[in-house]
Structures are given as C-alpha cells and as structure tokens.
A and B are shown apart, each in its own frame.
Chain A
C-alpha cells in the first residue's frame, strides 16, 4: 500500500475508557482464617499518583475484597457490591455469606461482559462452615475457590512463589513425612510480607505501603498469633462472630 494513502486518511482519535493503575493484591486461606493483602501505591505509566490508595476493602465481618487493575472501575465496583450487600441486610437482617458474595460478584462482573470492569478481584474471608476461603475472579466474572492467589502488576512474580510455598510445588517432602494442607497464620503473614517486599524490589509499580487484612473464624486459635503483631488494629463491627484485623507495613518508596 502506498505510503501517501495513510497520510491523507483522516486521523481518528479514539477515547480509551480504561487505564492501568498498577499495584498488586494477594490472598491466602488458612484452615480457619484468611489473609487478604494489597500494596497502596497507585500509578499511571511511570508516574506515582499517590502513595496511599487502598485496594483492599472490608465488606462485612467475614468478607474482605481486594480489587486491582483500573482504579476508577475498582472503586466503583466496590461501591456497587457494598450497595447490594446493604439491600441484602435490609431483606434478611444479616450479612451475606461469603460464597453468596462470590456468586454475586461473578454475576455483577458478567453483567458487564461487553464493557467490562477492568478489575481483577480477590475475595477472602470465612465460609459458613468456619473454613478460611479465597475466591479469585477474572474481569468478566469467571471464578473459583482457591487456597491462595496473587493478581495485578506483580502476579507473575508472586504467584510462583506462593505455588512453591503454599502448594509446595517442586518440593519433595522428607521421607516418611507429608506437606501440611494448611499453614499457620504466623507463616502466612511472613509469606505475605516477603511477597510484597520482593515484588517491591523487582516491580516499579509495587511499593509505598502494605495493608493486610486478617479474618478469623469464630473461636479461631490463630487469635493468639496476632497478640504480638506490631501496629495491628481490630475492625470487627460486632462481637460473638468472626473477627477482622488490619496490619499495616511500610514498603520501599523508590
């Protein structure tokens, strides 16, 4: 094709309704607890927009949602999920169970199949049977329950690390022993912190701050572990049920 044609063609500027705002989120389920974490940097291209923009949100006393991708979509999506949960409370005078929130999120995402929320969601919390759970979603609603999941800018750095440390991939148990099915909370918290410090080292879009939410099942023994944790804060709205905590850490800012 002659070059002249492309020059004479009218230039069409297309509006791109999406952007990528960096950052990484991750969640790990324990036997009777769940940890949901995300860094707090928000960026666009090479610019850091802010060092503190939360990506992890408490929905109820047993559910925490992490959103990553296009920040405007993420914030709007969380707002809409919260509205639906409020209507559920009006109708049933209780919080929506975790697995129901997971299905709700899939429905809400798929409703926008042809103009998607550009958001990767990870939902963590406690199921009705008291087990720790993690649900992960793609932007159009495909989802599954897992033991752990990383998403966002540094997914490709963090997920293989978790596969190795949580699922014991490429590790052989010592003769006569087997790998544990669930890890204790102290180990999980260390893994989360290591994941983010490592991602901060190697990925320019990750850093500044780390927010880790811990959801404990009713009467979870992991409660003892949290006693000595520095700067921990309880967010539980009501007693006599699941408990929610937040732990904040600094990450490198370069």
Chain B
C-alpha cells in the first residue's frame, strides 16, 4: 500500500488529528550545538544567544547543562522547552541520588530517557521543540567473574523533537549540521583516540568561528563543556576572536564607494 494513501491528510479516516500550532510555535530559540569525541572524553560547545525571531534577545543564555556526574546535554531550538527538560532531568537525578544505593544514571541512560520523552511527546502531537546532544563518560561494565573493570566509555548521541536518535564521533545540531559537521568529521574521524583536550578545544573553537561568520542567529560568546572520567567542567563564557576587516572591500558590507 502506498504511504500517500495510508497517511493522506484529506482522507477523513486516515488523517491523524493534528492540533494547529500558533503561527510561530517557537519564540525564544537557540542555534547550533557542536560536540566531538577526544582521547579522554567528550567536548561540547554552544553559544550564549537566545533569539526572538531575528532579534538577538538574550545574550547570556546557558545552553549546556550538566546532568548528574557523568553527563552534559546541549540544546538548540525552543529555550523554554529546553528549560522544562532541564527541570525534568534535575528531578530525575535527585531521585536517583537519594536512592543512595551505588547506582547512578550515566549518559546512555539519560539519552534513552530523553529519547523516550521526546518520542512520547511527538506521538501526542505536542513535541518539545529541540535538537539535543547528550555527551558523557561513565565507567565501563564490571566483569565480576574475573574482577575486572573495563575502561571508562565515551558516549555521544543525538535526539530531536521527533524522537530520532543517532550517535557518531562528531555531532552538530541546526546550522552546525550543515556548516560545522563536515569540518568536525575531517578533523576528528579516525583520530578520536589521539586528540587531546587541547586539540579538541581548537577544533571546536574553529568551527564555532565559522558558524559565527555565517549563521545570522549566532553570537561570538560561547561556552565549552568537557566531560572526562574525572568529571565535568563547563567553562565560563568566552569570546571568539574574529576579524571583519575583509568586509571593507566587499560590495554590500562596508560603505559603498560607487
């Protein structure tokens, strides 16, 4: 049976009930998030801008968030939905912590949980309008028979408003998926176990810069999260060093001489 027949929006029987969303369903939005694997863990970056349409509305938005001891999430899309997700995950982590039984949620578990929530909301036709990266490092499985603990494992995965998930050694949301992802793949693929934190930072910095030059909804102020077996650190906001002097000579940028 062709899918058109199965899903026909005109067929009164088959058309799923689609509640209409307001003209602009997303008000305050964040742009790309980038993340890569490196030797000791995961590094993630996102800028501090929350836009209101084309207005640069909030310039100190935190789009990276630690979830427990082993995980960081970074989100693009609707910022109010993201803050709702943050509150939800905080509660989850508190519940897990208060059990005090030696078990804790790692990045893989948090990603699965998030994916289930996102998929459930899309299935109710009321999605959480985000694309989220989940990165982290958690100690590997313990093999009790020979009393061996496997080395810490890196985890990096994506989930979006449809509940779509995937993982790779480099991930990017929004414009980053088009502009930064090719750069990240070239810089990282095959070198995941070699790159140092310093290398990783340089790679992300470079990609953030390219995005800032081309993505009109980006800003030159951003944060970087580093997750290793030793823990999580999310940097203070930092500035991108950019140069616009080249614009002088470009028609349409600087003062026109003719």
The residues of A with any CB-CB pair to B shorter than 8 Å are: 10-15, 17-19, 21, 42, 44, 47, 49-53, 70-72, 75-76, 114-116, 118, 138-140, 142
Contact = CB atoms under 8 A, between A and B. Distances in A.
Contacts of A10: 23
Given A15-B18, A17-B122, A42 B166 contact: yes
B21 A142 contact: no
A17 B122 CA distance: 6
Given A10-B23, A11-B23, A17-B122, A139 B163 contact: no
Contacts of A53: 166-167
11 contacts: A12-B23, A15-B21, A15-B122, A17-B16, A47-B178, A47-B181, A50-B166, A71-B166, A72-B119, A139-B1, A140-B6
Given A47-B178, A72-B119, A138-B1, A13 B16 contact: no
B165 A116 contact: no
Contacts of A138: 1, 6
B148 interface: no
> Which 3 A/B pairs are nearest by Cβ-Cβ distance?
A72-B163, A50-B166, A50-B168
A19 B164 contact: yes
Given A13-B25, A17-B162, A49-B166, A114 B13 contact: yes
B18 to A, nearest CB: 6
Contact of B23 (A13, A114, A118, A142): A13
B3 interface: yes
B7 interface: yes
Contacts of A140: 1, 6
Given A72-B119, A116-B6, A19 B16 contact: no
B3 A15 contact: no
Nearest to A43: B166
A50 B164 contact: no
A109 to B, nearest CB: 11
Contacts of B119: 72, 76
B158 to A, nearest CB: 7
B16 A72 contact: no
Contacts of B168: 49-52
Interface in B123-165: 123, 125, 127, 158, 162-165
Contacts of B13: 114
Given A15-B127, A42-B166, A47-B178, A142 B1 contact: yes
Contacts of A139: 1, 3, 6
Contacts of B21: 12-15
B177 interface: yes
B169 to A, nearest CB: 9
Nearest to B25: A13
B21 to A, nearest CB: 5
Contacts of A52: 168
A49 B158 contact: yes
Nearest to A19: B162
A71 B163 CA distance: 9
A44 B21 CA distance: 23
Nearest to B19: A15
B2 to A, nearest CB: 9
